[in-house]
Amino acid sequence: MKVKVIPVLEDNYMYLIIEEHTREAVAVDVAVAERLLEVAGREGVSLTTVLSTHHHWDHTRGNAELAHMLPGLAVMGADERICALTRRLEHGEGLQFGAIHVRCLLTPGHTSGHMSYFLWEDECPDPPALFSGTAQPGLIYLPNSTVPSLPPSDPLCSLGDALSVAGCGWHLEDTAQQMYQSLAKTLGTLPPQTKVFCGHEHTLSNLEFAQKVEPCNEHVQAKLSWAQDRDDADVPTVPSTLGEELMYNPFLRVTEDAVRAFTGQVAPAQVLEALCRERARFQLAVEPPQPQVRALLALQWGLLSTHQEK
């Protein structure tokens, strides 16, 4: 199994997964159809399936065009809002592409119909892969009864917006308590060498915020310096590892004294909620978006006061 990481749009990543014996390929979160086909053509593979993690436009905007260009293409996901969907998947459902096995895992959080995909090959030294275009800070809720055993080889984990390098996705369709429960139940079961591939390139700003949260954290300082060098060279910062994230990602450090002190909260879910709100404030101050996006984020995190409150 070969995974191609494809940068698209302003800061998105989409993925092309190649079964190296049959040369069949599966795409995850198609944002730009032509770019995906360009990579698939260069690799000499036959693209048969699209796995969409959720319905947001920057993860599915290429589905319809791709389906038009490739008649018979299967577009799969768990949410009826996904563009050009041909098959709705259920939690725990299994798929197979050549030697590649897929376990579909419903992981609501960033959106209510979010699906993660766990991929592996039997008797293969290559690591498995978990693609989760968006859940929430780390938030892949995998009931024990549906989680495949991780092989002893180095796991590969692509968390997309759920867990980015030193950060997490925006809280949209779930509560902080549910987010934390998913975080505690799932990431705690993954080995520290798990490779983390995210859906967006937000590493530099994430680490700048992490430094604000924990100014004395040497791991944050070292990673920030490294990320600045990567940014100067215009090189992606993915992947990281879960073990690394636990050292510098504040959203995975909600029980640490320094992070609790920064938020003024003690309960993990409340710390997580406060961190997300402060991250939104930080983003709005450092990198003001378009007015419509700014208003949406402000409303989402309660950063706008009502007339009466003023």
Catalytic residue among 55, 114, 171, 200: 200
Catalytic residue among 58, 79, 171, 174: 58
State how far the Cα of 197 lies from the Cα of 129, in Å rounded to an integer. Answer: 9
Is residue 200 flagged as an active site residue?
yes
Catalytic residue among 56, 114, 171, 202: 56
Is residue 110 flagged as an active site residue?
yes
Catalytic residue among 54, 114, 171, 202: 54
State how far the Cα of 135 lies from the Cα of 174, in Å rounded to an integer. Answer: 9
CA dist 235 → 20, 74, 201, 208, 304 (Å): 26, 32, 10, 18, 36
Catalytic residue among 59, 114, 171, 202: 59
Nearest to 250 by CA among 172, 138, 167, 133: 167
CA dist 48 → 22, 26, 72, 111 (Å): 12, 6, 8, 26
Catalytic residue among 29, 55, 114, 161: 161
Catalytic residue among 110, 114, 171, 202: 110
Chain center to CA of 68: 27
Is residue 68 flagged as an active site residue?
no
Is residue 202 flagged as an active site residue?
no
Tokens of 194: 């798990």
Is residue 257 flagged as an active site residue?
no
Catalytically active residues, by annotation: 54, 56, 58-59, 110, 161, 200
